[in-house]
Amino acid sequence: MAFHEHKWLIEKTSPVSGHMLGVDKHITNLKTKYQQVEIADTQLYGRVLILDGKIQSAEYDEYVYHEALVHPVMLMTPAPRRVLVTGGGEGATLREIFKHPGVEKVVMVDLDNELVGLCREYLTSWHQGSFEDERLSLIYMDARKYLEECDEQYDVIIGDLPEPVEKGPALKLFTSQYYALIKKRLAENGKFALQAGDFSMPFIDVHSSINKTLQEQMVFVRSYKAFVPSFNTEWGFILAAPELAKLPDMESIDRIIAERELKLLFFDGEAAAGMFSIPRDIRRRIAEEERVIDDDNLIAIY
């Protein structure tokens, strides 16, 4: 297809920067009660999901993001039986969780039932039927309200939320008050993992602020990253726990993957070694961060 024949998606990363992606076909583009949802087909990355103008995942490389989000925390947990997912509309986070044989119950809490319905219909290669798994309880409500009202305890909690966009649905799900609720819902030796924004200079401020905020509630807080081609950047994640924790070494990761018979495309011991090796400038920026996000001091990306 000739260059001029494409329609172009321009994802703005700041007032003065962004990246472009040629769109072959729009599948749907509508405003739900909570956000703008676009699903489109591209030649480069296949089908993509876009929320409020931000690419959330792409058919070509979503496995990188979802394996990076799910498996480090699941492998750190000796027997992850009960798992809570906040967000996760595509269903791919569920897909990766259900690969672990000891999982007995997963609760997924997502605010936007229209979004989940669109993902179930149009992103079948993402969820691969995970919404039909009998171990899943799917709840449509605000994740913060759910955490305030529930009395369940979870071995693992995974935050697969969209970025904190101004006036977006996740704006108050990156605060110290929210992480205090997460802490209360973790079982003994429970672990928390979340996607935590762009991991590159000069866009590290959101990630470093999330890391600092988690330190207000958790004893163990560890940033890591993975390069996601459709995001055009290294993407940040964070592991956290109320008690001291230790990352398994490369050999232990590979051993647990083999024991659980996990079929993974991206994540293993060698990949983990790179993901948790953080460049010096980024380490310094995270260490020097002073901002704590709370209900009266919110943070939002462009």
Q: How far, in whole angstroms, is CA 239 from its chain's centroid?
A: 11
Per-residue confidence at 15, pLDDT binned at 50, 70, 90?
confident
Please say which residue of 11, 29, 58 terminates a domain.
Answer: 58
Per the structure, the count of domains in the chain is 2
Residue 151: CATH number of its domain = 3.40.50.150
104-127 pLDDT tens trace: 999 999 999 999 999 999 999 999
pLDDT in the model for residue 11? 85
pLDDT in the model for residue 18? 87
Residues 53 and 68 in one domain: no
% residues pLDDT > 90 (the chain):
85
Q: Note if 41 is an active site residue.
A: no
- Judge whether residue 69 has pLDDT over 80: yes
Residue 38 domain-assigned (yes or no):
yes
Residues 260 and 141 in one domain: yes
Return the top range by mean pLDDT from 18-27, 159-168, 194-203: 194-203
pLDDT in the model for residue 260? 97
Residues 137 and 166 in one domain: yes
**77: domain range?**
62-288
Per-residue confidence at 220, pLDDT binned at 50, 70, 90?
very high
2, 71, 182 from 250: Cα distances, Å: 46, 13, 28
Mean of pLDDT values over 135-154: 97
CA distance linking residue 206 with residue 50, whole number of Å: 20
The sign of the torsion formed by the CA atoms of 77, 80, 82, 84 equals positive
Residues 83 and 132 in one domain: yes
The catalytic residue among 52, 110, 160, 198 is 160
Residues 53 and 199 in one domain: no
Residue 297 domain-assigned (yes or no):
no
Residue 302 domain-assigned (yes or no):
no
